[in-house]
Amino acid sequence: MILKLTCKNCQISSKIKQYIDKHLKKITRLLPGMKEDLVVFKLIIRRNIDKYYPAKTRTHRHRSYADIRPALAYFEGAATFRLGKRQLYAHFKGQAVKECIDRGFDLIFRKLKQYKDLHFRSESQYPDHNSIRDGRLSLQLKLQSVTGR
């Protein structure tokens, strides 16, 4: 896997680089059949200028302005994960660099799981849809709920 790490207005320590490598090893485990040269992972982390998350206003759930005020976010980043012709993109913010990296990889893992379900039929939850169409699965679930096992 090719890693391109870019930091703007901040420093990345060696511990954080090891932490990123740990997450990248998880990705390589999830994609065992992919060639190393085809997978490109770009990670950009920078110091956030405005220092706030985008405001999420839902007036019916909040009592005062203090409830809807966004939290501080000192760092933001973007991750682009290219698998052949397909690109998975995630934008994230956090108070610390490690929190940013966790959120970014969490988003990438979600999109990667969805990608695997769509493009790798052997990795899908239902690779052969016979059990759904025949009704055997729903019948087994009904029996288990009735018997309590």
11-48 tens-digit pLDDT: 889 999 999 999 988 888 887 777 777 788 899 998 88
CA distance 51 to 76: 9
Q: 92 pairs with which residues across the strands? A: 77
CATH at residue 142 = 3.30.160.100
* This prediction's pTM: 0.67
Query: Cα(27)–Cα(112) distance, rounded to whole angstroms?
Result: 9
Is the per-residue pLDDT at 113 higher than 80?
yes
pLDDT tens for 35-94 read 777 788 899 998 887 766 655 555 556 555 455 555 677 888 999 988 777 888 998 888
Q: How many domains does the chain have?
A: 1
Residues spanned by the domain of 134: 2-147
